[in-house]
A and B are shown apart, each in its own frame.
Chain A
Amino acid sequence: MNPIDPKIHQALDGEIPRAALSAELRRDADLLERAAALLAAAPQEGSVAARVMAALERPLPPRRSRVVRWLLTPHAVVLRMRPVWSVALAAGVLLLAILPAPSGAPALGDEEGVAQFVARFPGARSVAVVGSFNDWRPGSIALEDPDHDGVWRGAVVLPAGAHEYMFVVDGERWVADPLAGRYVEDDFGRENSLLIVRPVAE
Chain B
Amino acid sequence: MKAGLLFLWLAAPLAAQSARARLEGRVPAASIAAIDSLVQVAARESLPTEPLVQKAIEGGAKRVSGDRIIKAVQLNLDQLRAAKALLERAGDRAPVTHAEVLAVVAARKRGLADSIVERVVAALPDEPRGSALHAVADLVAHRFAGDSAADLILAAVHQGLRGVRLLDVSSAAIQETQRGRTRAEALALIARELPNVPPPPPPPRATVLHARRPAAAPPPDEP
Query: Could you say which residues of chain B place their CB within 8 Å of the CB of A104?
Result: 209
Query: Could you say which residues of chain B place their CB within 8 Å of the CB of A155?
Result: 203, 207-208, 210-212
Is the C-beta of A174 less than 8 angstroms from some C-beta in chain B?
yes
Query: Could you say which residues of chain B place their CB within 8 Å of the CB of A154?
Result: 212
Question: B residues touching A (Cβ–Cβ < 8 Å)?
Answer: 22, 26, 54-55, 57-62, 64, 68, 71-72, 75-76, 106, 109-110, 130-131, 134, 137-138, 141, 163-165, 167, 200, 203, 207-215, 217-218
Taking the nearest CB of chain B, how far is it from the CB of A189, in angstroms? 8
The closest CB in chain A to the CB of B171 belongs to A181
Taking the nearest CB of chain A, how far is it from the CB of B108, in angstroms? 10
Cβ-neighbour of A101 out of B57, B131, B209 (below 8 A): B209
CB of A186 within 8 A of CB of B167, answer no
The closest CB in chain B to the CB of A154 belongs to B212
Question: A residues touching B (Cβ–Cβ < 8 Å)?
Answer: 101, 104-106, 108, 114, 116, 130, 132-138, 140-141, 154-158, 160-162, 164, 174, 181-182, 184-188, 194, 196, 198-199, 202
Query: Could you say which residues of chain B place their CB within 8 Å of the CB of A181?
Result: 138
Query: Could you say which residues of chain B place their CB within 8 Å of the CB of A186?
Result: 58, 62
CB of A156 within 8 A of CB of B211, answer yes
Q: How far is the CA of A182 from the CA of B109 in the complex (A)?
A: 11
Query: Could you say which residues of chain B place their CB within 8 Å of the CB of A141?
Result: 212, 214
The closest CB in chain B to the CB of A134 belongs to B214
Query: Could you say which residues of chain A place their CB within 8 Å of the CB of B213?
Result: 106, 156-157
Query: Could you say which residues of chain A place their CB within 8 Å of the CB of B22?
Result: 135
Taking the nearest CB of chain A, how far is it from the CB of B112, in angstroms? 12
28 A-B pairs whose Cβ atoms sit less than 8 Å apart in the complex: A101-B209, A106-B208, A106-B213, A114-B203, A114-B207, A114-B208, A116-B207, A132-B58, A133-B214, A133-B217, A134-B215, A137-B61, A155-B210, A156-B214, A157-B211, A157-B212, A162-B106, A162-B130, A182-B110, A182-B137, A184-B106, A184-B110, A187-B55, A187-B71, A188-B58, A188-B68, A194-B106, A196-B164
Taking the nearest CB of chain A, how far is it from the CB of B116, in angstroms? 16
Taking the nearest CB of chain B, how far is it from the CB of A130, in angstroms? 6
Taking the nearest CB of chain A, how far is it from the CB of B79, in angstroms? 9
CB of B211 within 8 A of CB of A135, answer no
